[in-house]
Amino acid sequence: QSMRIRSVAVAVVVALAAAACSNSSGVKTTTRTTAPRTTATSAGPFVHVDQPGVSDTEIHVGSVTSTTNPLGGNYGELNAGIKAYFEMVNGGGGLYGRKLRLTSERDDAVANNQAQVQAMLSQDNVFSVFVATLLFTGADLLQRQAVPTFGWNINSEFADKDHLFGNIGAICFGCTGRMLPYVASKIGAKRVGVLAYGISQQSKEGAAGTRESFKQFPTAQVAYYDDSLPFGVPDLSAQVAAMKRAGVDFVAADMDFNGVFTLAKEMQKQGLKAVQWLPNAYDHDFMAANGQFFEGDYVETQFVAWEHTPRIKQVSDFLDWTARTGGKQSELSMTGWIVADMFVTGLRKAGPDFSRQKLVDALNSGIYDPGGLIEPIDWRYRHGDPTKPGHDSPIECFTAVQVTGGKFVPAFTDKGPWNCFDGRQQQLGAPITLDEARQILAQGPLK
């Protein structure tokens, strides 16, 4: 699946993060145990609710993020998107006579996720939990205590837990997909280079999935393959020289962003004219400063990029409300916005007499589709391991932009922002529209 490739690129940091933080005890916690009481205009009838974190005037939620981390990641920006979305809802009168509040923001410093999750559940009195963490060791606890949990899914721990909802469904790190073979055919690439870290099983599985994808859909040949790179490798001159000798014109690396940046600089130095596929590089500030190394490369996003026109309502609302609330506009804050929308969608479906379980049941009863912002998710089965029968989506969708002059330009837009594929077909096939994919999705999982 296309989202598998993107998630692997981030998840490969886990092994390093675990080693770097195994002795860490520093934890930053910001908890607002009491929030100002306000008079809310109801967006639905008021019913007294006896649930954790719920008063007659407010619904409190908390977050656990790896804000402090050795990788320089901006994972705490998830909170900015949640707050912006809540402010939009509150500005419209709230929900069921209540304001939505993010009252607890805990930093797990990577190594302390389980402890911080436990502390939040026992001390912070929250209705629901949001996460953006490198090591999701608290996942089992959240599932056992039946806490509706929403987050940035780069973690295998999301799988097989029906109370945990990610911005994408359960990840298959080694699965094949149509996206890269299609992109290769679209740009005329014939020889592919695949790189991955040897320290990370997820990275190795992702690289293997890419290789198998080109075997299954042979639009190009994998001409160079190296899945033994050390994490943080400072010198890729030998690998780039080998790719140049092999005639590589398209590079797919299951590496973190620092790795692909090192690769891009070495490719430019040696004059390797190959296009990179970048799964986690939608960073406007970085690309404005360093776009010269990525000119012509493609960036996959898990949501419709802001540059696509006309803008869909969810993107316009995100940009508007993050600006109003002073939140950083980034991939992580957009993810926070998405999962906040998922949370509110579930509450609306649950009704005014809501509970934790009613929220979970409401989302698990159907398809979550926020107006084309992301690939729709059928939560009736997408919690499960997609390698097992009955748990894999029948559609594959991706959206991308191209780096041009340090800016992002919409790419592959013949079918709109999204390019989708019918996963029931044995052949690669031509892309279909998102609306056509929705019709296929409604028919149930792959058999």
Give 247-306 pLDDT, tens digit per residue. 999 999 988 888 999 999 999 999 999 999 998 899 999 999 999 999 999 999 999 999
Pairing of the two strands 407-411 and 395-404:
antiparallel
Averaged over 212-231, what is the pLDDT? 97
Give me the pLDDT at residue 28, please.
Answer: 46
Nearest Cα to 316, choosing from 385, 371, 279? 371
**Tokens describing residue 77:** 């920006």
CATH assignment of 1-21+174-301+388-447, among 3.90.1170.40, 3.40.50.300, 3.40.50.2300, 2.30.30.40 = 3.40.50.2300
For the cut 60, the answer to whether the pLDDT of residue 42 exceeds it is no
The mean pLDDT of the chain is 91
Task: Reply yes or no on whether the pLDDT at 68 is more than 90.
Answer: yes
| φ, ψ for residue 364, nearest 5 deg | -75, 0
Q: Where are the alpha helices (DSSP H) in 60-124?
A: 78-91, 113-123
Closest CA to 255 of 283, 285, 284, 276: 276
Using a 10 angstrom Cβ sphere, with 0-12 exposed, 13-18 middle and 19 or more buried, the burial of residue 410 is middle
pLDDT tens-digit map of 362-414: 999 999 999 999 999 999 999 998 888 899 999 999 999 999 999 999 999 99
Q: Domain limits of the chain?
A: 1-21+174-301+388-447, 32-168+313-378
CB contact at 8 A, 287 and 405: no
* C-alpha 446, offset from chain centre: 22
Asked if 186 and 411 count as a contact pair (C-beta separation under 8 A), the reply is no
DSSP lists the bridge partners of residue 195 as 226, 253
d(Cα 73, Cα 66) in Å, to the nearest integer?
8
Domains 1-21+174-301+388-447 and 32-168+313-378 share a fold: yes
Fold of 32-168+313-378: Rossmann fold (3.40.50)
Location of structure tokens 């981390």? 69
Q: If you average pLDDT over residues 139-151, what whole number do you get?
A: 99
pTM of the model: 0.92
